[in-house]
Amino acid sequence: MKTGQLFRIFAVLVALNLPGSVTLRAQNEQGTSTNPPVEELEVGTNTQWIANTNGGAPASITIQNPSGGSRDAMVVFGHNAELKAGESVEAVVVIGGSAKIHGKVRDAAVVVFGELELCDGAEVGDAAVAVMGGINVRSNAVVKGEVVAVGGKVNLDPGAKVTGQTQEVDLGMSGLNLGWLQKWVTQCVFKMRPLAPQVGWVWWFAGLFFLLYLLIAAAFQRPVKACVTELQSRPATTFLLGLLTNVLLPVIFLLLTLTGIGLLAIPFLIAGFVLAAMVGKVALQQALGETITTKFGSGVPAAALVNFLLGTVLILMLYMIPVFGLMTFAITSMWGLGAATAAAFAGLKRELPKRPNGAGSPPVVPPPPMASATTPGMAPAPISTLAATASTAPVTGAEGEAPLADPTQVPPITVAGTAPTPTHLYTSTPPAAPPPIQNALGHPKASFWERMGAGFLDMVLVGILSGLVGGPPLSFLVALAYFAGMWAWQGTTIGGIVLGLKVVRVDNQPLCFKVAMVRALASAFSMVVFFIGFFCIIWDRDQQGWHDRIAGTYVIRLPKGTPLVCV
């Protein structure tokens, strides 16, 4: 087969729409392109493209032309195709189905994941190729090129005429029935869904995974419960954590590979991530089931096993929907991994020893002073006792003097050699103390994954802005202006607003533009050194990166509903 001819055939495939839909393109004698939106459509003057439907989905494509006219190409995705006798086309390409040819193909006939049958009187002007399928050439059929079957057999009936060579490319599957593979490609791959009712063997794998998930739900109840808690309390954060974990995992593997000795840790790391993804997937299914039982049941969550079964049934049903099934698989896998990652870091944080009261803790207010008695040998009396005595006993001045005009005044009690005690005690509510200075450092520190989630949202926004200015080097200035400006203005960024994070100084002073600019430049340094400046947030006791230590800042997590301008 000529290289240019193959290129023309597969170029047609690239121009077609997504799999799962059948798109036929024809050109009439004047070169007008048509795309038939209905079952029957006239092309030119005497050509019809007829789609035989079965339950609303095309099961085969038939080309009919009573006057024997010719068309450019016949291309079919995911369905069988048939070229009637007397019809002539430039090429035939069928992917995910079988082709039966009675007429004339002026160039090549190619079938992928299906069988190619050249019936009595059929003619192929160049090569006949079948990939992962066989070729049957009947009597009086003519092939003026090669006959090639990759992963299949070639059957030539007596009287069949083949000008070129006949080749069978063995892939180690000789004698193996590949119908299961064709059905899987047609029903699952082309329709972009993990499960299909027509493909029986995939359900065996689904059953094995169900038993494995059931075992995890029974054996790892505490980790699953921790993941469920994270999913219910922080759904958006867990999803972003899963997305970031998938993005950063190759970077982590690369860093371990560069160290050399880190290669020994990669297998254990992969095993840990696989187990974490499974535990998170079980937790996600259990959380979905709990939502169903709580909303549509009696309002009380059912047992964990019942919730797990309900969530599993719901996800399996979504898996069978074309296109949406593959999206569901990707989202649930990513979300489950994020829940497991969040639960792991939450457990690690609980295991760390608590920090003593330091600069980052609110100041401890000492108790009110006690009023001391001036008589030697007497225990000091609290102010409240003296005040009560002063309010109930008659208050008089010194001997021979009139009573005090102000009942709150108490005569000084003196003893030789001592200073007089205060003469004014509060008998009612003391005057209100000045409002305490709000300490932003009293809020919990943001975790690594929360900060990376906010950073991911910011990088998406910065990427869009950078595209508007034409990319580097102006994109670096855009990023610098965005982060420094947002930190100096609001103490956070758009991603921080979404996740409730804010940057504060370690001395609890306002974040000025100078500090924000230093932090932005230091963030670039943390990034270019293989992101180590960001990864150190994971094991740092204060959860500070290099840029935080350089600028003297923390990133705190605010309670839900707290306005960012109030901190």
**Which among 384, 376, 374, 364 is positioned nearest to 442, based on CA atoms?**
364
Whether 200 and 179 have beta carbons less than 8 Å apart is answered as: no
Q: What is the Cα–Cα distance from 436 to 438, expressed in whole angstroms? A: 6
**Between the CA atoms of 263, 265, 268 and 270, what dihedral angle is there, to the nearest 10 degrees?**
-60
Judged against a pLDDT cut of 70, whether residue 11 lies above it is answered with: no
Confidence band, pLDDT 50/70/90 cuts, at residue 314: very high
Lowest mean pLDDT among 59-63, 100-104, 334-338, 468-472: 59-63
Confidence band, pLDDT 50/70/90 cuts, at residue 58: very low
**Which pLDDT belongs to residue 441?**
67
The 10s digit of each residue's pLDDT in 188-205 is 888 889 999 988 889 999
**Which pLDDT belongs to residue 176?**
55
Confidence band, pLDDT 50/70/90 cuts, at residue 110: very high
**Between the CA atoms of 255, 259, 265 and 269, what dihedral angle is there, to the nearest 10 degrees?**
0
**Which pLDDT belongs to residue 79?**
78
Helix axes 221-233, 324-351, angle to 10 degrees: 110
**Which pLDDT belongs to residue 505?**
92
Report H helices in 422-493. 448-469, 474-490
Q: What is the Cα–Cα distance from 141 to 233, expressed in whole angstroms? A: 68
Confidence band, pLDDT 50/70/90 cuts, at residue 30: very low
Lowest mean pLDDT among 11-15, 443-447, 465-469: 11-15
Judged against a pLDDT cut of 60, whether residue 148 lies above it is answered with: yes
Angle at 60 between CA 56 and CA 64, to 5 degrees: 115
**Which pLDDT belongs to residue 366?**
55
Judged against a pLDDT cut of 70, whether residue 493 lies above it is answered with: yes
Lowest mean pLDDT among 34-43, 350-359, 458-467: 34-43
What size, in residues, is the chain?
Answer: 567
Residues 18-31 have a mean pLDDT of: 37
Judged against a pLDDT cut of 50, whether residue 173 lies above it is answered with: yes
The 10s digit of each residue's pLDDT in 410-424 is 455 544 555 554 544
- Name the region of 417 (left: φ>0; alpha: ψ -120 to 50; beta: rest): left
DSSP assignments along 387-399, one per residue: HHHHHHS----ST
**Which pLDDT belongs to residue 390?**
43
Q: What is the Cα–Cα distance from 145 to 154, expressed in whole angstroms? A: 14
Other C-beta atoms lying within 10 Å of the C-beta of residue 211: 9
Please report where in the chains the tokens 């070729």 appear, as a residue. 135
Q: What is the Cα–Cα distance from 342 to 226, expressed in whole angstroms? A: 9
**Which pLDDT belongs to residue 53?**
36
Confidence band, pLDDT 50/70/90 cuts, at residue 311: very high
Judged against a pLDDT cut of 70, whether residue 76 lies above it is answered with: yes
Confidence band, pLDDT 50/70/90 cuts, at residue 71: low
Judged against a pLDDT cut of 80, whether residue 396 lies above it is answered with: no
Residues 226-233 have a mean pLDDT of: 92
Judged against a pLDDT cut of 70, whether residue 64 lies above it is answered with: no
DSSP β-bridge partners for residue 409: 424
DSSP β-bridge partners for residue 40: 50
498 contact partners, CB below 8 Å, separation of at least 6? 236, 454, 457
**Which pLDDT belongs to residue 447?**
86
**Alpha-carbon dihedral sign for residues 248, 254, 260, 264:** positive
Maximum Cα interatomic distance, the chain, rounded to a whole number of Å: 147
**Which pLDDT belongs to residue 224?**
92
**Which pLDDT belongs to residue 519?**
93
